[in-house]
Chain A
Amino acid sequence: MANIQETIAKQFPEVEFAQGETLELNVPDAKWHDVAAALKNDFGFDNLRALIGMDWGEELGIVCYLVNSKTYEMIRVKVVADGRENPFLHSVTDLFTVAGIYEREVFDFFGIKFIGNPDMRHLFLRNDWVGYPFRKDYDTNPTLNPVRLDHEETEDTTVEYVEGADGKIHKEERVIFAPEDFVVNIGPQHPATHGVLRLRTAVDGEEIKKIDLYLGYIHRGIEKLCEGLTYPQTIHFTDRLDYLGALMNSHCLCMCIEKALQVEVPRRAQVIRCIMDELMRLNSHLLAMGTFCMDLGATTMLFYALRERETILDIFEKTTGARMTFNYNVIGGVRQELADDFVSDVKKLLEIMPKAIKEYNQVFTGNVIAKNRMEGVGVLTPEAAVAYNVTGPAGRSAGWNYDVRRAQPYGIYPELEFDVVTCTEGDSMARFKARITEMEQSCRIIAQLIDNIPEGEICAKVPKVIKLPEGHWFQEVETGKGAFGCYIESTGTTSPWRMKFNSPCFCLAGVVDHLCRGQKIADLITIGGTLDYIVPDIDR
C-alpha cells in the first residue's frame, strides 16, 4: 500500500492521500483518468467495485472503490466535480467497462455528465423527468413530476460529451439503433425476465445483434428515502432490495453501522447470522434454479425446488415470524431468540438436502435438452467478469475466484471450512451447476455450526439513539447473487448523509448485452435465468 502511495505521489503530485479503512485517494478531475489508468495497469486494480455519486452540499462528485482482482486489495478514490450548475467529470468507461452503466446511474441521480461515456441517457428515470432527485436541493414538488400515464418516447440515439483539443466540451450524437435495425421490445411485462426489466433487442433473424437495457420500472428511491430516516429505520429496506438475499443484505448494513459505532457483536449472534445467511443462500439458489428451469419449460423442477424452499421458509418463520421480509438483523445482533426447535428443524433440512440435490440433477442437469440449451451458451471470460464486475456464482463460474467470504472475510467465515466453487467454462451450464454445488457448500457450513451455537447474548448493548461519528464506511457481503456492498457517509447525525446499496444484480444486468451478442434470441432467457438477477435489487 505504501508503495502505491509513493509511486502515485511521484507521478501525480496533485493527488492527496489519507488512510481510512483502505488507502484513500483524493484526485482532481483533470487527472482522474490518468490515475485510474495507472492504478489499473501498474498496480492491478482492474475491478471497479463501486462508483457512488455524491452530493456533499457544496460540491458534487463521485467515490470509487477499486479492487485488485488477484490480491483482493481495495482502495478508495474520491473525485470532485466543478460547480453544481453544469458539472462534468471524466469517464473511465474505456478502462472499466462496468463504469459505463455506473456513470449513467450517477448522471441520472446527480446530473453529473461524464466526458467520454458513449451513452449519457437517463437510466432509471423517465427521459422527461425534471431535476436530479439525489441532489440535496432537489425540488420534490409533485407538480413537476406528476404521475404520467402516457408512454415516454423511445430513443434510438444518445449523446456523448466530447472534450476537444482546446478543452471545450461539446455534444455528439451516437446511434443506438439504426433505422434498418429490427428491434424487438422485451419487457417490462414479460414472464421470463424475472421482474420488470426491459430489453430492447436488435435481431438479425434469430441472432441477437445488440441489447439496450432499460431500468427503473421498480426504482423506489430507497437510497434517498434512507437519508430522511434514522439508522435503525433504514434496515428494513434492505429486505426489500434483493428479497431472496434479505438476511444477507441486512447483515451487510448492520455490519457497516456496527463498524462505525465500533460495537462488538456477541458470538451467539454472529453464529446465528451466519447460519441464517447460509439458509438464505439455499433459499435464493433454490428459487433461482426453479424459476430458471420453468423458463426452459421444466415446470416440475419449480415445484421440486419450491418444496425444499418451503421447508426453509418454515424454519425462518418459526424464528423470525415472517416468510420473506424478516427484519431479523438489528444493529448489534439479531432481534429474536431462536425458536425452540430451530436446531432440529435445520438438521432435518440438512438430511433432505443431499437427496433433493441428487434428484434435481437426475431430473434436469443430465437432461439432453437442458445440456443443449446451456452448454457453450453465453460464455463469460474471467477478464470480462472482472471488467463487468460480475461477482457471485456467475463470476466464479467464469473462472474469477472471488468470494467476499474469503476475499474480505467478515463475521465468523474465516473460521469455517468451505470451498469457493469455481469453474472455468463460463457458460450457462457452469453457472447453473455452480449454484447447485454452492448449495452443497452452504449445507456444509450449516452442518459445522448447527451443533455449536454458543450460549449468550443475542444482541450487544447499543445506545438508544444511534448517532454515527463523522466519516464513511463501506462493507460488503457475499449474497446469493454476488458481492453486495453498503456505503454510508455520515455527518455525525442520527440519519445518514448518503447511503448507497451497491447491488450485484445491477452489474449482472449490465453484462447481458455482452453475453447475448451473437446468440439466439431464445438463449436470452437462459442467459438471463442463469445470471439470476433480481430486478428490485437492480433498481433499488
Chain B
Amino acid sequence: MEVTTKSMPYEDWKDNEYIESLVNELKASGTNVIVGSLDKLINWGRSNSLWPLTFATSCCGIEFIALGAARYDMARFGWEVARSSPRQADFMMVAGTIVHRMAPVVRRLYDQLAEPKYVIACGGCAISGGPFKNSYHVLKGVGEILPVDVYCPGCPPRPEAMIYAIMQLSRKVKVEKFFGGVNRKENQKEFLKNHPISETTN
C-alpha cells in the first residue's frame, strides 16, 4: 500500500521506508473489515484537516506567518485554521528555540492539546538546540520533553519545507489505528511516563 497524497507523486517523497514500516505494522496486527474501514474514513478526515496551534517562539514563527499568507497559502491543504487555544488544535508546530524557562509552558500546552495530538519540531533549535546548543539555558531539542512526530530542519525552514513537514505528518496520520498499536500511540504513552512532570524542590 502506498501512502501518498494527491499533491505529490510517491517517488518524490523521502522516508518512504519509514511510512512503509508503519504500513507493515498495521497489516501485521490485523483488524476486522468494519473497524478497518472506519479507520480509513477517520484517518482520511483527520489527515486533511490538521489544525495547527499558533505557537512560535522566534524566527520560525515569522516563516509560519508567511506560510499562512497568500504566496504559500496553507489553506490549500486544510491547515489554515490556526488555533490560539491548544484545546482546539490538532498539532503543535514547535517553531523556535525552547529554553529552560519555557519548557514547562510547552509541556503544559502539549498536555492541553486534545487527542489525537502531534508535534512537529520545526527548525534547528527545536530539533537539537541548533546554534544555541551549548548554551546554559537552551534545551537540546524539544524531543527532550515532548514526543516528536516530524522533524523539519532549517534555520528557519523555508515555508516550502514547512509544507513538506506537515504533508509528511498528514501521511503519518493516514496509517493510524484507532485503537492504538500503530504509529507512536504506545510510544507516546511510554515517553510521557519516562518524562514525568516532577515537583523538584530546592
Contacts and interface: CB of A to CB of B under 8 A. Distances in A.
A145 B202 CA distance: 11
A481 to B, nearest CB: 15
Interface in A155-204: 188-191, 195-196
Contacts of A369: none
B132 A149 contact: no
A147 interface: yes
B74 interface: no
Of residues B101, B102, B144, B196, which shows the largest number of chain A Cβ atoms within 10 Å of its Cβ?
Answer: B101
Nearest to B98: A218
B63 interface: yes
Contact of B105 (A146, A188, A307, A536): A188
Task: Count chain B CB atoms within 10 A of each CB in A128, A130, A218 and give the residue with the most.
Answer: A218
- Prevailing SS type, chain B contact patch: loop
A189 B102 CA distance: 10
B136 A133 contact: yes
Given A147-B103, A147-B145, A287 B62 contact: yes
A306 B69 contact: yes
B59 interface: yes
Contacts of B158: 323
A243 B198 contact: no
A343 interface: no
B66 to A, nearest CB: 7
A152 B197 CA distance: 12
Contact of A218 (B57, B136, B198): B57
Interface stretch (A222-230, A430-438, A506-514): A222-230
A218 B132 contact: no
Contact of A240 (B58, B100, B102, B108): B58
B155 interface: yes
A222 B105 contact: no
B87 interface: no
B195 interface: yes
Given A148-B100, A216-B99, A324-B156, A302 B137 contact: no
Interface residues of A, number: 50
B109 A243 contact: no
B62 A218 contact: no
A325 B103 contact: no
Interface in B147-195: 155-156, 158, 195
Contacts of A221: 132, 135-138
Given A149-B198, A152-B101, A218-B58, 4 more contacts: A128-B200, A218-B99, A306-B70, A310-B66
A196 B136 CA distance: 19
Interface in B99-117: 99-105, 107-109
16 contacts: A130-B202, A140-B136, A148-B104, A149-B107, A149-B197, A189-B55, A189-B109, A217-B102, A221-B135, A221-B137, A240-B58, A243-B59, A243-B62, A244-B62, A535-B58, A536-B97
B156 to A, nearest CB: 6
B52 interface: no
B62 A240 contact: no
Interface residues of B, number: 47
B7 interface: no
A217 B101 contact: yes
A323 B162 CA distance: 14
Interface in A128-155: 128, 130, 133, 138, 140, 145-152
Contacts of B100: 125-126, 145, 147-148
A243 B58 contact: yes
A310 B102 contact: no
A540 B188 CA distance: 33
B125 to A, nearest CB: 8
Interface of A: 124-126, 128, 130, 133, 138, 140, 145-152, 188-191, 195-196, 216-222, 224-225, 228, 236-237, 240, 243-244, 287, 291, 302-303, 306-307, 309-310, 323-325, 535-536
B198 to A, nearest CB: 7
Interface in B36-90: 54-59, 61-63, 65-66, 69-71, 84
Task: Please provide the 8 A-B residue pairs with the shortest distance between their CB atoms, ordered closest to farther.
Answer: A306-B69, A221-B135, A149-B197, A243-B59, A536-B58, A220-B132, A191-B84, A217-B102
A421 B142 CA distance: 43
Contacts of B96: 218, 536
B102 A220 contact: no
B51 to A, nearest CB: 14
A324 B62 contact: yes
Given A140-B136, A146-B200, A307-B70, A236 B131 contact: yes
B198 A217 contact: no
A506 to B, nearest CB: 16
B202 A125 contact: no
B139 interface: yes
Contacts of B57: 195-196, 217-218, 535-536
Contacts of A324: 59, 62-63, 156
B69 A219 contact: no
A479 to B, nearest CB: 15
B169 to A, nearest CB: 21
Contacts of B17: none
Contacts of B198: 149-150
B11 interface: no
B29 interface: no
B138 to A, nearest CB: 5
B202 A237 contact: no
B2 interface: no
B12 interface: no
A240 B200 contact: no
B15 interface: no
B148 to A, nearest CB: 15
Contact of A323 (B63, B107, B139): B63
Contacts of A148: 100, 103-104, 200
B155 A325 contact: yes
Contacts of B139: 147
Contacts of A309: 66
Residue among A148, A151, A291 having the largest count of chain B Cβ atoms under 10 Å: A148
B104 A151 contact: yes
Nearest to A196: B57
